[in-house]
A and B are shown apart, each in its own frame.
Chain A
Amino acid sequence: TQLLEQSPQFLSIQEGENLTVYCNSSSVFSSLQWYRQEPGEGPVLLVTVVTGGEVKKLKRLTFQFGDARKDSSLHITAAQPGDTGLYLCAGVGTGTASKLTFGTGTRLQVTL
């Protein structure tokens, strides 16, 4: 069983603060995807990281894939109210079946 644990589960911060969300597993993944989900909608992809140690930046968001391809992190700099939402990591299994397992989710609220 490939389990992905995200921490923290909930995060309430003020505008301008920085935050980091962690996604950890004991399993190795071929790639790791990060999604954001709004209420009533399906998740939408933010980024995919593939190589161990890879760092990707998307404006104020920085994503990192662990060297062993078992964990990842999402760092947001100077959070804004528009960043509010549910953040989900998802790992693609290394087998040919490409099982896609989602993390437990981090609900972020950014207030003025």
Chain B
Amino acid sequence: DAGITQSPRHKVTETGTPVTLRCHQTENHRYMYWYRQDPGHGLRLIHYSYGVKDTDKGEVSDGYSVSRSKTEDFLLTLESATSSQTSVYFCASMGQSHTEAFFGQGTRLTVV
């Protein structure tokens, strides 16, 4: 199995506080992605990266920012958490072959 881990796995935070989720992969994959998954929805793309310091917005990027200073790490930051950002967040990485994305275990974030 590809080595991709997310931290933390669970977090409860208060409205208005900044939150950073971390994704770490050991496969030297070029591409990394952050998604959120809500009940009744598939995976919605927040931001993605196609190399160190190369990132772009997905369909639901408002209120989120990302950084990728190293190939193995992709950070997702909620600048000022809101209740609408309560969700399960998944990170994924994919290699140059584009044949498969590998997912972390997910982070369950609750904003109260």
Contact = CB atoms under 8 A, between A and B. Distances in A.
Given A41-B105, A42-B103, A43-B103, A31 B98 contact: yes
B44 A31 contact: no
B74 interface: no
B50 A96 contact: yes
* Chain B interface helix/strand/loop/mixed: strand
Interface of B: 30-31, 33, 35, 41-45, 48, 50, 54, 56, 58-59, 90, 92, 94, 98-101, 103-106
Given A42-B90, A44-B103, A100-B33, 15 more contacts: A30-B98, A42-B106, A43-B43, A48-B98, A88-B43, A92-B94, A99-B56, A100-B31, A100-B48, A100-B92, A100-B94, A100-B101, A102-B43, A103-B42, A105-B41
